[in-house]
Amino acid sequence: MSKHHLGEFEEIVLLTVAILYDEAYGVAIIDEMERRLDRKVSIGALQTVLRRLEKKRYLSSRLGEATKMRGGKRKRYFALTTYGREILETTREQRMNLWNAIPNLDIGDSYA
């Protein structure tokens, strides 16, 4: 197992930032996650994870321009770092190895 571990929410945030590319800021990330996953996301939980991922060097951020629409407040845009892309690829490979190890996976066949 890799020395790097992503929690489920961390992985989802990284993937969403990658999907949004140059438009990955707080509200856009939440909107995309909620739309794609049919799952509510709080701004507080997202901000905590964004800071943690930035501290781990999986994400970088930059401030956008101030706008009148936002009362002069600038948006913070996030982007995957090279290291973040590597972690996502490692995580994907680990997950696929597990999925591929399931013998005769038949969703209709269950033990319940």
Q: What is the pLDDT of residues 42-92, one digit of tens each?
A: 999 999 999 999 999 999 999 988 776 766 688 999 999 999 999 999 999
Q: Is the dihedral of CA 6, 8, 13, 16 positive or negative?
A: positive
pTM as predicted:
0.83
Residues 6+ apart with CB under 8 A from 10: 49, 52, 53, 58
Q: What is the pLDDT of residue 65?
A: 81
Structural domains of the chain sorted by starting position, each given as residue range(s) with its CATH number in brackets: 8-98 (1.10.10.10)
Rounded Cα distance, 53 and 80, in Å: 10
